[in-house]
Each structure stands twice: as C-alpha cells, then as structure tokens.
Structure 1
Amino acid sequence: MAIIDQPKKKKYATLNDVAKLAETSIATVSYILNDSNKRYVSSELKERVIQAAKELNYMKSAVASSLKGKERGILSVLIPQFDNPFFTRIVVVIEEVARSRGYFVSISTTVDDMEREREIIKKMIEQRVDGLIISPTIQGTENTDHLRSLGIPYVILERPLVGVDQYDFVGCDNWSCGYTAAKHLIDHGHTEIGFIGWDTFINVQERKLGFLAAMKEHGIEVKPEWIQLGGLGAESGYRFMPHLLDSKVTAVVFGHHALAEGGVQLLRERGIGIPEDLSVVIIGTPNWTQLNAPKFTCIDQSERLIGETAAEVLLNNVLEENISKPWQTLKIACEILPGESVKKLN
C-alpha cells in the first residue's frame, strides 16, 4: 500500500472567514447568504461575498454559532441496509466504541439510494458532525467529494470508492471468504462444488474470485454451470438452486447469507438432506444458521473487529488534528465457523 500523507484537517468555514475574505462585515455576509432583501446591497458586494463563500466551501450551519469550528462529539454512520445483520452488528460495535470515548453516533440508512446518500451527507455536514463512517452507494465517490474538499474526517466501510486513492478503508477480506469456504469443502473431499453469488459491481464479487482461486490451486476445473450469479435476495437463491442440483454438485458455497436463505428453503421443500445429499457453506452468520438442525458451517466475517477498527480509525482522524499519517486500507480476516452442514467424503 502506497504511503500518502494526509492533509491537515480543515475547520468548517464560518461567516467570519467569509467576511474576512470578502472584506466586509459578518452581518453583511449573513444578510447576503440568507437572501434577505430588507436593505440595499450593491451587486459588486453581493458577488464578492458569494465568490468568497464558494472559495471557502462555506455551508450553512444548523448549530449554534458558539459551536462553529469546535468538535461537537457527534459521529455519523451511513449503512445501506438496517435489516442486514452484517451491518447492524458493525454499527452496534461502532456505537459502543464511540460512547466509550464520549461521542454520540447518528445512524442512517441509505437503502442503496444515491440521492438519499447525498442528502444525508449534506445534512451531516450542515450539522457539523466531527466525522463519518460510510458504506457507499454506487455514487459514493461523487457524494463524498465535499467531505474531501472540506477535510472532514471519514472512513469508508466495506465498499471501496471508485477512482479515489486517498482515503481510509475498513472492510471484510471478501476474497479470503470465498477462498476459505471452497478450501474447507475441498479439504473434506469435495471436488464438484457450486457457487451462488451476487452479481454486483461492489467488492462482494471478490468472494467468487477467492472461490475460483481455491479450486484452481487444487487442480479442480470449474464447469460454467457450477457458477450461478444474479440479484441479491432469498428469491434469487431459491431460483438458482435447481440449476446446481441439475449439475450434480456435491456441495455449494452461498456467497451471501440472503441467497442462502432461499437456496436452503428449496432444498428442504424437495427433501434434500444437508449434509447427507448436499454439503453447504454460507458466507455470513445470520442467527438462523445456528438455530437450525443441522447448524450450518459458515464464514464468520468478524463484524465486531470491523466495527472496532472503523471506529478507532475515525476517532484517531478526528482527534489527531494537524498530524500527517498514511491512508489505511484494512481488510479484516474471516474465519471458518464449523457446523454440521458439510459431509466428509475422504
């Protein structure tokens, strides 16, 4: 990883900053930026103030003026889904760490809506939060541009930004998840292994690459029909499962727990025994995988460590004002959580 110095954290521009640059009074700046028309202001002065505000990246504050330029003790977390246990577990830990350090956490969900993400980030900037942890949408790079221009500390969670090199990232090692799942099955004697995954632009696709790497490493040729990719959700897993059954695989890796939910449902409806007739490994650890009989073999994505790491990186950025440091890309290792869903063939 390249070591790149982080620029000094900037303070939010205040009315006073704009007034100094425009060479006028704070009252005049406030009057102009609030579009008041109660008194005459020359067009030249108005233009000067507007240009100064743009140059300083000034944004209207929603907090008391006495708090401007000071830390408020508030962090913001943006995640794509509240109903995904992977993200909710991470958020719980982030809040624990933040509270232990005297910070309040504002939690929002973008539901993977690009416009909603943009609006939430804008609102958090207006509220003068001290820093943000964001699992971005497809438009995350553009939506975080203003954070970079203002020097507001932020950490990207799980989904990397496209086209940006200088930022802190914390997430699961998705490639390792796919590799570990496949290798566990191979170690148990399986050579005909299917993979059901989410066809997406984000780095979840690395799970498929890890799966393929493990197969290649052990000299196993993967047939095209063994790989089933599509939308995310139980219905997709349900729809893909018959294709793998027709291909006569002895085991399947579910690249996402949401897909596993549908796939397992179909297996039970057809009376296919796990692991007697088909072995199963699931990437992710939703509660239902451990409440069923048999308990499923899963890939633990280490949500607690991801949450702790993301919170600590952000808090260090917030507190280490004027200290240069390298950007960090931290991929947290996964581990196999053995269950009863894998049959030993060797």
Structure 2
Amino acid sequence: MEKQKKKKYATLNDVAKLAETSIATVSYILNDSNKRYVSEDLKERVLQAAKELNYMKSAVASSLKGKERGILAVLVPQFDNPFFTRIIIAIEEAAHRHGYFISISTTVDDMDKERQIIQKMIEQRVDGLIISPSIGGTENTDHLRSLGIPYVILERPLIGVEHYDFVGSDNWNSGYSAVKHLVSQGHTRIGFIGWDTFINVQERKLGYTAAMHECGLQLESEWIQLGDLSSPEGYRLTEPFLNSNVTAIVFGHHIMAEGGIQLLREKGVRIPEDFSVVIIGTPSWTQLNVPKFTCISQSEQQIGEVAMKALMRSILDESETEQWHQEKIACELMLGESVKKLN
C-alpha cells in the first residue's frame, strides 16, 4: 500500500477563499468574537469551510503554511520506565543531528490526556510525532491521519489501522529466547511472571509457551502467573513459586521483577543456587546487583534511532511511492550470573 501525499495545514486564507470572504472576517468568526454583527449565513459558510478543510487554530502566531518549525513531539506512557527513557534519549540525539528539537510528554496511559496532548501538538504545528499509544490510540490518532501529519507508532501497535509506520521490540522472541537459554543450562521446570494486558507485551508469554512446547517440556497452568504492572504485584505473584518444583523463573517485565527479587531475598532464597532468574528488560539495578542478572535486552537505542529515521523519511519525502515502515527490533541475551547450570 502506498502512502498518501502529505497534506499541509489549512490556514485562515484557505478558509477565507472557500467561504468567499475576508481573512479578518474568518478570524473574527472562528475566535467567536461578538464585537460586531455577522450574518448567520456568513457565519455558517465560514464554519462549514473550516470543517471541510480540517482547519485547526494555530497556537503559533500567523502560522506560516508549508514551513517546518523544527519541532517534533514524543508521547510515551511512562517516564519512569528505563525502556522509554532510553528510547527518548536515542530519539533526541537523532533529532538533533537533523536539526530538530523534541517536545516530550507522558500520557500515563490515560487516553483522555493522550488526546489532549495530541490536540495541543497539532495546534502547535509540530512537524511530526512519535507515539507509544494508550488503549485509545487508534481514535486519538485519527486527526493526524486526516490531516496527513507524519507520525510513527512506537512499541504498541494501533488496533484496526492497517497502514502506518511502526517500530517496536520483538516481544515474542524475548520470551522465547529466555526459555531457550534456561533449557540450554539444563532447566526443564520454568515459570513465567508477566503483565496481564491486551497490548503486545503479552507476546512475551506466547514466546515462553512456544519455547516450552518446542522443547517438549511439561507446562503446568500454575507456572504462568499474570497480574498488574507493578513491583508489589511481582512480589505477590512470585510467592506461589516458593513451594513449587520449578527451578527457574522468567520475569516478563523488569518492573514486576523488582518485587519478585525482593521477595526471594526476604525469604533467604539464593540466586542462582536455589532459584535461577532471567529478566526481560535491562534496568540499571540488574547489573549493579550481586550476582548480576541474566537479562533480555530490548535494544532501546536502535528502536529510537529507527523510529526517528522513519519519521524523518515521512517528513522530508512527499512522494507517493514510499512503503509504510514496519519493523520489530531483535532482542539480545545479556549473560549474567543468575542462571545455575544444571547439566
């Protein structure tokens, strides 16, 4: 599927031409002024013209049609998540090389806040956006598509939209690789603790189960524990494994791993002597601990660089022949000392 040619923001002049009136009159009506009389017919013509052109009020004084402002917007759901922090740093470095500045916002996974931020960025006439969407991401990005504003979706695919630029981590292989490494060290009874979510992070669990089946291993239902994304939830979900016969746990998210590791240490469980651990994600604490943890790196630097490259391609190239960029960045096993060799 080929991309549509990028559209330009409609200006007051465009609305005035379509409504067959002056720019001053359009400005007066759209600003809802009541200082002078305007006929209902003229008011209706202006409002209809603005609607047809998808005109949106600019927060930039006398916005200059067709000229780039040199500003990009980045929306992420969690500021305190090292995964997104590292991606933002990579995006900012790449943007700077292209002469752009970035405006960073966090949505805290609130779809209403996300919609408000996107609306504000449109009004600010940003040149493009990189968004890791909330559950309402599809609806909240509709206006970007109608206006032809360049955007790239990060990590969480849009539901119900076929053609758009997407860059994210290979979540399925994160879970798959974790299990394969444990199996290579002789482990056959492996548990999984993960985030119970509709977004693509749940693919980590699917990768885990696929690897277990591929290796012909027993898979008990109680070996998979899912819950909310929090450290206390990781603590709670780890407890059932203390009285089980599993020898290793794959933590599907590093935030949940924090709580799980806390529980193991409080109970005097030694890593890796008593329990082996693999963590998906690489927060700094995993490498500062003794022992250092074996982790699955999600290559945040590369994700940020590829996302920025895709956005710049969309901003700078207005041809109608470019294909949509869809890419999952490969994960990488980072060996530590948290896995005991059983074979």
- TM-score w.r.t. the length of structure 1 is 0.98
Tell me the secondary structure at the aligned position of residue 59 of structure 2. Answer: coil
CA contact (8 A) 2:291 2:337 kept: yes
Moved more, 31-40 or 319-328: 319-328
- Answer with 231-240 or 61-70: which moved more: 61-70
* Structure 1 counterpart of 2:44: 47
Q: Distance in 2 between matches of 1:95 and 1:68?
A: 26
Counterpart Cα distance in 2 of 1:244 and 1:149:
50
**Aligned with residue 164 of structure 1, among 151, 158, 161:** 161
Match of 1:148 in 2: 145
**Unmatched 5+ residue regions in structure 2?**
none
Partner of 2:2: 5
Quote how far apart the aligned CAs of 1:42 are: 1.2
Give a deviation string over 1:229-282, Cα, whole Å, max 9, x none. 000111011001111222220000000000100000000011111000000000
1:315 aligns with 2:317: no
Runs of 4+ residues over 4 Å off in structure 1: none
Distance (whole Å) between structure 2 residues aligned to residue 226 and residue 12 of structure 1: 53
Deviation at 1:68, TM superposition (A): 3.2
Superposed, which structure 2 residues align to 1:38-117 within 5 Å? 38-65=35-62, 67-117=64-114
- What letter is aligned with 1:341? S
**Cα-Cα RMSD:** 0.8
What is aligned with 1:255? 252
**Structure 1: gaps (5+ residues):** none
TM-score by length of 2: 0.99
SS of corresponding position for 2:242: helix
The residue aligned with 1:278 is: 275
Q: C-alpha separation between the residues in 2 aligned to 1:322 and 1:214?
A: 43
User: Does the Cα contact within 8 Å between 2:254 and 2:280 map onto a contact in 1?
Assistant: yes
Q: Deviations 1:73-114 (Å, cap 9, x if unpaired)?
A: 000000001100000000001000000110010000011111
Q: What CA deviation, in whole Å up to 9, does each residue of 1:164-183 have, x standing for no partner?
A: 11110000000010000011
Where do residues 288-327 of structure 1 align in structure 2 (5 Å cutoff)? 288-327=285-324
Aligned residues: 343
User: Using the alignment, how far apart are the partners of 2:266 and 2:101 within structure 1?
Assistant: 47
- Distance in 1, matches of 2:76 and 2:27, equals 35
1:345 equivalent in alignment to 2:337: no
- How far apart are residue 321 of structure 1 and its match? 2.0
1:129 paired residue number: 126
**Is this contact kept in 2: 1:225–1:247, CA < 8 A?**
no
Provide the C-alpha distance between the structure 2 equivalents of 1:15 and 1:47, rounded to a whole number of angstroms.
15
Secondary structure of 1:65's partner? coil
Letter in 1 for 2:148: G
1:182 aligns with 2:173: no
